[in-house]
Amino acid sequence: MEPAPLASLQEEGEGEPGESPSSAAAAVPPRPATHHSLHKYAPLDWSAYFDEERRVAIPDTEDVFNVYMAGSEGPVVFCLHGGGYSGLSFALAASRMKEKARVVSMDLRGHGKSTTSDDSDLSIETLSSDVIAVLRTLYGDSPPAIILVGHSMGGSVAIHVAAKKVIRNLHGLLVIDVVEGTAMASLIHMQKILANRAQHFPSIEKAIEWSVKGGPLRNIDSARVSIPSTLKYDESRECYTYRTPLEETEKYWKGWYEGLSEKFLSCPVQKVLLLAGTDRLDRALTIGQMQGKFQMVVVRHTGHAIQEDVPEEFASHILNFIARNKIGPNGVEIPGLIKKWQH
């Protein structure tokens, strides 16, 4: 469905479906319609969901990556957002996981509050190297147990990082709603999709409102946390626009997804693919799924951003994965062996 232009958005309480403008005007006295709407779509601060915001400076470079952190026990669930999103895409889910896991959600290059020597370089090689550099800067040569989680473009980055086999103590890979076949087929339409988005917003509240009424999200609370970090203020136009100019990154799109299915299947860790629809498996994944090479979970009643639209269900899938595979803070825990070593 084409995104609705910003001008078409109604204020909350501004008439009902099927009601003519004249009858609505006659039934409802004139009143300022903006107060309730602005309150409903007011930004929410990250600190209600994460415990810490940290700037990770990569040694010997100009690159500084912004990460959000929550929790103090269990394995590290390291989250990578999709193109045009930010680390706060995982905010609501993080608040539901942090009692049993440590959640780290990163603003990728060219997104959120991260700053690099070249924010426009969104090649899969550079994005993957950034993630590896952040993990090494945070944890050195003795990292805790790590589970990589990636949404859309971030799912591709997670797969490439896992496939490099350079992250010590990597115990899981969860990819959210990205399949090579579907992604490659959609690239021809991507510029049109991006061009049809609302491009400029008079306020952050209006951007949040558009994101749930005509944009990619279905959860207002998640949009209130995540959308502000995807925007920047355009002084010349005196309005808000997108922090990440995705339309200028077209030369990298093919590299994000080409060969992704085979690379995913080759990753030597436990794998889960979360999908918003059952018709999205390509041939390689269909065969791999039949062979039991990964677990597929279909999440219903959600859009593309599963972690934002249904954060409770998403968090439960992550925590169930950790429990099922017995992943502790330092790796797989086998009760019999632990008991034996303690004697």
Q: Do strands 270-275 and 295-298 pair parallel, antiparallel, or not at all (unpaired)?
A: parallel
Q: Which amino acid is at 303?
A: G
CA distance 67 to 143: 16
Tell me the C-alpha distance between 67 and 55, whole Å: 6
One-letter identity of residue 181 = G
Q: Do β-strands 231-234 and 102-106 pair in parallel, antiparallel, or remain unpaired?
A: unpaired
Which has the closest alpha carbon to 130: 112, 109, 155? 109
End-to-end CA distance of the chain: 62
Q: What is the dihedral of CA 196, 201, 205, 210, to 10 degrees?
A: -10
Tell me the C-alpha distance between 306 and 159, whole Å.
18
Q: Which residues are catalytic?
A: 152, 177, 304
